[in-house]
């Protein structure tokens, strides 16, 4: 049973990493696989009450792999961390099957309480490099978390979350495609570009309004007449007519 589970983990890594050339390479050279195997051992000891030994094993795994997984964390099958360095997974984190994390990911807590304080990552989720998922929130099945996103609220199943703080992109009807680093490459709204576009539209509207007002003002302006010569009766009548028009 144990060796079957190990083979399952290796096969999961082979499916997710095109650079993996053989199962032997994954077993001997992949730090994420080493961290996962040591976590399985540490977690078994943790659940049996051997807390100090479990923490010692997790600390050893952190030293040799750069991946810190608390022995109390619950991790499902075929879990894979690509590159691995800098990943932190907290004590009450729960991770489903077929989840993939990239380097620099943090599944952290935001509370000092002893209860549930770390995220729940459901099956099929991909979390991009540098993403921070904080607090006892839930990332729904098959969701995608973009690189460097900071997620502090629940993400629905099949949706994507990008940005700081993360904004949720509604799920598509079909969500089976692989997304490198958890970041969608199409139909991705850029909040900065959207804001700039809104400002440009507003400037265009204000410019058109100013032109319109200037035209109306020009129509109401009466040219100043040249002062008439003394004794010129016709010019004097024109001047009076212009003054009445202004009034």
For residue 50, name the pLDDT band (cuts at 50, 70, 90).
very high
Higher pLDDT, 183 or 72: 72
Q: What percent of the chain has pLDDT over 90?
A: 37
Cα separation, 169 vs 56, in Å, equals 41
DSSP 111-165: --SSS--S-EE-TT-EE-TT-EEESS-EE-TT-EE-TT-EE-S-B-TT-EEETTT
- β partners of residue 100: 80, 126
Q: Is the distance from CB of 67 to CB of 47 less than 8 angstroms?
A: no
pLDDT of residue 15: 80
* pLDDT tens per residue, range 88-105: 999 999 999 989 999 999
For residue 18, name the pLDDT band (cuts at 50, 70, 90).
confident
Retrieve residue 165's tokens.
């703080």
Average pLDDT estimate for 35-63: 93
- β partners of residue 82: 102
3-state secondary structure of 208: helix
> CATH topology for 2-187?
UDP N-Acetylglucosamine Acyltransferase; domain 1 (2.160.10)
3-state helix, strand, coil in the chain (%, to 5): 40, 15, 45
Q: Is the distance from CB of 207 to CB of 231 less than 8 angstroms?
A: no
Cα separation, 109 vs 126, in Å, equals 19
Q: What percent of the chain has pLDDT over 70?
A: 78
Q: Domain ranges in the chain?
A: 2-187, 193-246
Q: How far apart, in Å, do the first and last CA atoms of the chain sit?
A: 101
The answer to pTM > 0.75 is no
* pLDDT tens per residue, range 173-229: 545 555 555 555 555 556 666 778 778 888 988 888 888 888 878 877 655 555 555
pLDDT of residue 60: 94
Higher pLDDT, 247 or 121: 121
Give the torsion through C-alpha atoms of 133, 136, 140, 144, to 10 deg: 0
Question: Sign of the C-alpha dihedral, residues 88, 151, 134, 73?
Answer: negative
Average pLDDT estimate for 128-148: 91
Give the mean pLDDT of the chain.
Answer: 82
Higher pLDDT, 106 or 215: 106
């Amino acid at each position: 049973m144990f060796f079957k589970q190990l083979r399952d983990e290796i096969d999961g890594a082979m499916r997710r990493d095109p650079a993996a050339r053989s199962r032997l390479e994954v077993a001997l050279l992949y730090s994420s696989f080493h961290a996962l195997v040591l976590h399985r051992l540490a977690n078994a000891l943790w659940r049996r009450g051997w807390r100090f030994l479990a923490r010692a094993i997790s600390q050893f795994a952190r030293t040799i792999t750069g991946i810190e997984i608390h022995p109390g964390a619950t991790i499902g099958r075929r879990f894979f961390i690509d590159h691995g360095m800098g990943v932190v997974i907290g004590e009450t984190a729960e991770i489903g099957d077929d989840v993939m994390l990239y380097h620099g990911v943090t599944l952290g807590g935001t509370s000092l309480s002893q209860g549930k304080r770390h995220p729940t990552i459901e099956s099929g989720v991909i979390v991009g490099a540098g993403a921070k998922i904080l607090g006892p929130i839930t990332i729904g099945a098959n969701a995608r978390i973009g690189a460097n996103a900071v997620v502090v609220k629940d993400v629905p199943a099949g949706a994507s979350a990008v940005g700081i703080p993360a904004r949720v992109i509604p799920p598509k009807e079909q969500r089976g495609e692989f997304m490198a680093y958890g970041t969608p490459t199409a139909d991705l709204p850029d909040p900065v570009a959207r804001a700039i576009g809104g400002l440009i539209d507003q400037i265009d509207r204000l410019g058109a309004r100013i032109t319109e007002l200037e035209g109306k003002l020009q129509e109401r302006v009466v040219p100043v007449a040249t002062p008439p010569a003394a004794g010129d009766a016709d010019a004097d009548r024109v001047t009076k007519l212009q003054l009445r028009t202004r009034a």
